[in-house]
Amino acid sequence: MRSNIDGHFLLIGLMAYPIRHSLSPQMQNTIYSKLNIPFIYLAFEVDQLKLPDAIKGLRALGLRGSAISMPNKQLVCQYLDKLTPAVEMSGACNTISNDNGVLTGYNTDGIGYMRMLAEAGINMLDKKITVLGAGGAATAIAVQAALDGVKEIAIFNQKDECYTKIESVIKKLNEQTKCKVHITDLADENELRKQIADSDVLCNATGVGMKPLEGQSLITDPTILRSDLVVTDCIYSPRKTKLLEMAEQQGCKTLNGIGMMLWQGAAQIKIWTGEDAPIDYVKEQMG
C-alpha cells in the first residue's frame, strides 16, 4: 500500500461492468509503485447506461485517462474527441488519454500482440498471418497487423455475429492499407489448411482452449502445423492451451497470451505516464 499519496497524484480509471474480478488494478498499481510515479489506478463499475456520465466525470475531475472494457469498448468512441487510426478502423477503444481536456481513444490490444511478436524476434513486415476468430481480440490484432505492414491476413471464423461484423472492418483494411485481408468460414477445413500452409504466424483469438472449452483446439490435425510456423494463442489461462501443446510437439515456436496482455498494459502506461513498464519485474510478480 502506498503511503506517500498527496495532492499531486493523478487518477487513472478502468470503466467496465462487471469489473471487480479484474487483475489490472493490481498490475497497474504495482508498476506505478515500482516506478515511483504519482499515479493511482482504480476500477469503476460503469455499464453502458452510466458511460456518458462517467466520461463527463472523467473530464470534470481531470482523470489522466481510463482503461475501457466490456461492454463499453464500442460505445465509448462517440464520446471522445480524437480516435487513433486503429480505433477508427476497428470501432473499438480500450484506452482513453486525457491531454488537457482533449480525450483520445486508443486500442492497445493489437499493439500488445504485435509488440509480443517483435519482442520474440519475429519481424512481421510483409509477412502473412492466419487468425482464428473475428471478435474483439481478433479485430484488434488484424487492424494493428495491417497498419504495421503485414502483407496478408487470413481470418477464419464460425458463421456468427462476429463474422458479419468484421466484414466491414476487412473492407476498410483492404481500402485503406496495403494489406490483403480476407475471411473464410471456419468449417472450410481445406481452405484453412491452404492458408496456414503459406502463413508465417497462426493466431488463436477465440476462447477455444480456455474454460469452458479448455483442452479443445480449433486445429485438430497437428500436421497442419509446420515446424517453421509461429503459433500464438491470445489465451493466458491456461498458459499452455491444447493448440500450443500440439504446436510444441510439432516443433513450432509458441507464444501464449501473457505477452499480449503485458505489452498492451505497457502501451497504456506509456500513453498515460510516458514511462516504460518494467516488464520483467511484472512477469516476476505474476509468477
- By CB under 6 A, name the binding residues for ligand NAD: 109, 112, 133-138, 157-158, 160, 162, 186, 205-208, 210, 218, 234-236, 257, 260-261, 264
- Taking the C-alpha atoms of residue 140 and residue 84, their distance in angstroms, rounded to an integer, is 12
Cβ 278 to ligand NAD shortest distance, Å: 18
In the complex, the smallest distance separating the C-beta of residue 5 from ligand NAD, rounded to whole angstroms, is: 29
80 vs 205 by CB, closer to ligand NAD: 205
Minimum separation from the CB atom of position 81 to ligand NAD (A): 25
DSSP state of 50: T
109 vs 152 by CB, closer to ligand NAD: 109
**Closest by alpha carbon to 260, among 145, 148, 141?**
141
- Is 178 exposed, middle or buried, given 0-12, 13-18 or 19+ CB atoms closer than 10 A? exposed
Min separation Cβ 4 and ligand NAD, Å: 31
Question: Looking at beta carbons only, is 98 or 166 nearer to ligand NAD?
Answer: 166
Considering the candidates 56, 73, 127, 253, report the single residue annotated as catalytic: 73
CB of 213 to ligand NAD, least distance (A): 6
Catalytic residue flag (residue 73): yes
- Strands 102-106 and 128-132, how do they pair? unpaired
**CB atoms < 10 A from the CB of 81, how many?**
13
Is the CB of 210 or the CB of 231 nearer to ligand NAD? Answer: 210
Give the 3-state secondary structure of residue 198: coil
The owner of cell 462517440 is 78
Please list the alpha-helical segments (H only) found in the chain. 24-35, 51-61, 85-90, 108-119, 136-147, 161-176, 189-197, 242-249, 257-273, 279-286
Q: Which three cell numbers stand for residue 6?
A: 498527496
Of 192 and 210, CB closest to ligand NAD: 210
Residue least distant from ligand NAD (Cβ):
135
Helices (H) and strands (E) in the chain, counts: 10, 12
CA-CA-CA-CA dihedral for 281, 108, 131, 19, to nearest 10: 80
Which residues are known catalytic residues? 73
